[in-house]
Amino acid sequence: MKIQIDPHTLERAEERGANEAEIRDVIETGSLIEAKHGRLGKAKVYPFNQTRGGRFYEQKRVEVIYTTGEDPVITVTVYAFYGKWEE
């Protein structure tokens, strides 16, 4: 599967604490999530065990919103959330 990462997505990833490798991994191996406006979404939880914004977090959930026709998958944006989701 060919993945085209939009520059906007990379900017948001940097601001939110995600990276290009995670974006690609989420699209390839993440779980489907609901997205608006006819777009698709996938999410994946990663171990984090670091401090961000002065607080310690065990995990990071990366969500990627994207569109697809035949080829390539084109990213729209990425979100990163910090907390604990899995035991």
Residue 13 carries which side chain, given as an amino acid letter? Answer: A
- For 72, phi then psi, to 5°, come to -95, 175
Give which of 56, 51, 64 is closest to 5, Cα–Cα: 64
End-to-end CA distance of the chain: 31
Task: Give the 3-state secondary structure of residue 1.
Answer: coil
Confirm if 27 and 42 have CB atoms less than 8 A apart: yes
pTM across the whole model: 0.92
pLDDT at residue 68 greater than cutoff 90: no
Instruction: Specify the pLDDT at position 69.
Output: 76
Tens digits of per-residue pLDDT, 9-27? Answer: 999 999 999 999 999 999 9
